[in-house]
Structure 1
Amino acid sequence: MGNIRHTFTSPLRHDHTCHLLYSTYSKYEEDWSSYPHTHYFTELFFVLSGSGSFLVEDETFPIAKHDLIVINPNITHTEKSSLEDPLEYIVLGVDGLNFVIDDANEYLLFHSDEMKDRLDFYFRTILEETENSQKDYEKVCQNLLNILVVHLSRYASSSVEIFPFHKMESRECSRAKRYIDSSFRENITLDKLAEIAQINKYYFSHTFTETYGISPMNYLTQKRIFTSQELLTSTDMSLAQIAQQCGFSSSSYFTQCFRKSCGMTPTAYRKQFLRNQ
């Protein structure tokens, strides 16, 4: 499986309702490896060519060229390529975005002949900008993402509403989230976060989950996983060193959490990245 990810070191927030975390290009190869996994953010999955199937929770459906699949945060999903018609796709990781869908699905499968060329342009241009990383490329990508979201809100079915995922953010939850973002390498407990938020820990956990769509401890784990992916692909640090650097109590627990989140072990993730260089 060819898979190349370009991550934003400091995603632009400003007054945008959402911000781009990364763009990933993937193409089916003989070593394809994909397992059900989740993210704390939304993923926009656009098929450039090929066909296959997509699993979301317990539902499987076919996908093909120019399909756009939007996966809400914390929803288990994975993809499977056809052997005869290999999948090639681009994925955007987007924080601050959530889709409210009337039929209770946690994904949107979008296909429009009218929009296909425009979608192809946005996804390819964002990928190209992140690959080249020229001056102000993050601004270009963020602006393209904002336009893409507007077009989706126009052309998607009327049962879909797009809104800022964090719009109900409370001061207490924001304080705890900032602490996680800056101190995730430390030993953090729910009691510690509730103390920082200065509210009862059970109320804090409920409010944080309702605000961000993920529990505080799961958000902490996802933050650590996200950082570990960067270290796996940009350094030759051992798993034990990365586990310690990211705040995991042991390398075995790190591997367990990584596999659950990413669908593969940290070692497999690193090998896959190196094969694609």
Structure 2
Amino acid sequence: MKTLLEMSGCLLLSTNQKKVESLWRDDPCYKFIFSLKGSMRYQSKRNDLFLHEHEFIVFNPSEEHRQIAVEDHKFLVELDASFLNEAVSSITVGQRDIFFAQFIQKNPLVTQWVQFIYSYIQMEEQSENKGLSIFLDHSFTQLSVVLARTAVSTQSTDFITQPFSSVQPALAQVMAALKNDYQHPWSLEEMASILHISKFQFAHLFKEAIGVSPFSWLQIYRLMRSQELLLYTNQTITNIALGCGFSSVAVYNQLFKRLYGFTPSFFRKSYSNQIKH
């Protein structure tokens, strides 16, 4: 089954056709890729990216990548760069052009959006209703806003964990504790003790539900908190890294570059000039 729809310069593709696309691409749009069923593997110039069911990634405009394998069902939305940034600018006061981290993510709100759109399109394709184009126009705007609010990006200063509260309340409790004391050198045992389970049970549960390990989640949250300090303070990068809980500035720089493809100093210099006053 394959569905291909295009509205407002944006494109939606839903397919279970296992097409091999090993060529490198650098499309001029944002590409939201969601694993509706099964797993997928993508590759960029700096990361191997393995998506499992209900996980997603966003590639930025002109960001080189290629599809290596799709096990079952791929749900893809190409969002025109000006369309997405216009939608995002209406809800943010930060820099204009958003840049998403190259990071596999999982969020109940995003999953709900995809499942609703997928079900609606299946319904409309069996009817002669002309309302699909209007529906998709609004849906692309919704996706732009949802990604700006929930996905890790240059505009992120916090992990939005509220969507997890209804589906994984215990893990939402752990995430809240980590956020409240993110500078602390947490051990896996300390995290697991919040739920009174073993560290092995906790690590498996967290990875299964959130998509990354507890330590990876905490490190990325620390990085997100650091972004605001880079833009709005004159603190040195070393002080910011250590103050946010990183063991060294080298570890901080390495993670920042792996996610964004550029260093904290480049981010500070480039994005400070784009802040809206």
TM-score by length of 1: 0.51
The partner residue of 2:185 within 162, 184, 187 is 187
* Cα drift, residue 226 of structure 1: 0.6
Cα offset, 1:228, TM superposition = 0.9
Alignment of 1:204-223 (within 5 A): 204-223=202-221
Q: SS at the partner of 2:62?
A: strand
Give 1:80's aligned residue.
62
Paired residue secondary structure (2:202) = helix
Question: Residues 122-161 of structure 1 correspond to what in structure 2 (within 5 A)?
Answer: 124-131=86-93, 152-153=117-118
Report the Cα offset of residue 237 of structure 1.
Answer: 0.8
Q: Which residue in the other structure is 1:69 paired with? A: 31
Give 1:174 deviation, angstroms.
Answer: 2.5
Deviations 1:33-91 (A, max 9, x none): xxxxxxxxxxxxx9979xxxxxxx97744645xx6632455648454179xxxxxxxxx
Amino acid corresponding to residue 237 of structure 1 in structure 2: Q
Q: Is the 8 A contact 1:74 1:213 kept in 2?
A: no
- The aligned length equals 181
Q: 1:276 to 1:127 in 2, by over 3 A?
A: closer
Residue 238 (structure 1) shift:
0.4
Gaps of 5+ in 1: 1-45, 50-56, 83-100, 133-144
Unmatched 5+ residue regions in structure 2?
A: 1-6, 11-20, 35-54, 65-69, 95-109, 124-142, 144-161
Q: What is the TM-score normalised by the length of structure 2?
A: 0.51
Distance 1:172 1:109 in 2: 32
Distance 1:155 1:202 in 2: 40
Q: Are residues 181 and 71 of structure 1, via their aligned partners in 2, closer, same or farther at CA, if it must alter by over 3 Å?
A: farther
User: Against the structure 1 CA distance between its residues 47 and 241, is the aligned structure 2 distance closer, same or farther, given a 3 Å change threshold?
Assistant: farther
User: How many angstroms does 1:124 deviate by?
Assistant: 2.3
Q: 1:108 aligns with which of 59, 62, 76?
A: 76
Distance 2:263 2:8 in 1: 25
Shift of 1:270: 0.7
Partner of 1:265: 263
Answer whether contact 2:165 2:172 (CA < 8 A) is retained: no
1:248 maps to 246
* Equivalent pair of 1:185/1:247 in contact (CA under 8 Å): yes
Q: CA deviation at 1:258?
A: 1.4
The alignment status of 1:228 with 2:231, answered yes or no, reads no
For the residues of structure 1 that align with 2:184 and 2:262, how far apart are their CA atoms?
Answer: 25
The equivalent residue for 2:104 is none
Amino acid at match of 2:62: K
One-letter identity of the residue aligned with 1:109: V
Distance 2:62 2:169 in 1: 41
